[in-house]
Amino acid sequence: MFSWEGILNLVVILGVILFSMVLHELAHGLVAYWLGDDTAKDDGRLTLNPAKHIDPVMSILVPVLLYMSGGPIFGGAKPVPVDTRNLKFGAWGMALVAIAGPLTNFLIALVSFLIGYWTGWLNMPGIVGLIFTELVLVNLGFGIFNLIPIPPLDGSRVLYALAPDAVREGMEKFEKIGIIVVMILVIVFPSVISTIMLGGIQGMLTGFYWLVGVPV
Burial 195-216 (b: 16+ CB within 10 A, else e): eebeebbeebbeebeeeeeeee
What is d(CA 187, CA 183) in angstroms, rounded to the nearest whole number? Answer: 6
- Catalytic, out of 25, 169, 172, 175: 25
Radius of gyration over every alpha carbon of the chain, rounded to an integer in angstroms: 18
Is 25 labeled as catalytic in the residue annotation? Answer: yes
Q: 32: exposed, middle or buried (C-beta count within 10 Å: 0-12, 13-18, 19+)?
A: buried
Catalytic residues: 25
